[in-house]
Structure 1
Amino acid sequence: MINERHVSLFRNGRNQAIRIPREFELAGTEAIIRKEGERLIIEPAPPRERLLTLLAGWEPLDEAFPEIPDTPTAPEDVL
């Protein structure tokens, strides 16, 4: 596998861009980029878990919550 290749930088609107050669393509539709010294490191972003999927994996709580009184707050003079 090829480890290195020279590529061209170009402008895309106000952003600098690079075409990623086919042999370096990343899976997915998002990536994470970070700078370490003069190096730019681009990695595929991990897939995001949907909230419902995350909640479905949690065990229900077996503890009772204390009763919270629903008293109105006192009015404040903000002038």
Structure 2
Amino acid sequence: MALSSDDHREARLFRNNKSQAVRIPADFELPGEKVMIHREGDRLIIEPIRRKDLLEVLAGLTPLGPEDEFPDIDDGLLPLKEIHL
């Protein structure tokens, strides 16, 4: 069921130890296990944290420079296997 921006529901606030929590109705459920929350005036905005895909992870890596050294590898430790693609 797709929700439009006009859909509003009342939700309950409760205490969880020293934190205030909100009980989100099932039809407003967010994906994942974590959210990002920020304040805009007197509003709280809650957004799901999206898992990065492989291309995003790779784009965030810094290239290795000439000062980065790899350890010597003993070629005799691992047998090489031919791979057919």
* TM-score of the two chains, using structure 2 as the length reference: 0.56
**What amino acid sits opposite 2:22 in the alignment?**
I
1:14 aligns with 2:31: no
Match of 1:73 in 2: none
CA RMSD, Structure 1 to Structure 2 (Å): 3.2
**What amino acid sits opposite 1:47 in the alignment?**
R
Unpaired segments ≥5 residues, structure 1: 67-79
**Equivalences, count:** 61
Match of 1:76 in 2: none
Distance 2:37 2:26 in 1: 18
Match of 2:49 in 1: 45
Secondary structure of 1:16's partner? strand
Unpaired segments ≥5 residues, structure 2: 68-85
Return the offset for 1:54. Answer: 2.8
State the Cα deviation string for residues 42-65 of structure 1 (Å, max 9, x = none).
000021468xx638xx7x76x7x3
Structure having the higher Rg:
1
1:33 aligns with 2:37: yes
How do residues 46-61 of structure 1 correspond to structure 2 at under 5 angstroms?
Answer: 46-48=50-52, 54=58
Kindly, what percent of the aligned residue pairs are identical? 44
Secondary structure of 1:43's partner? strand
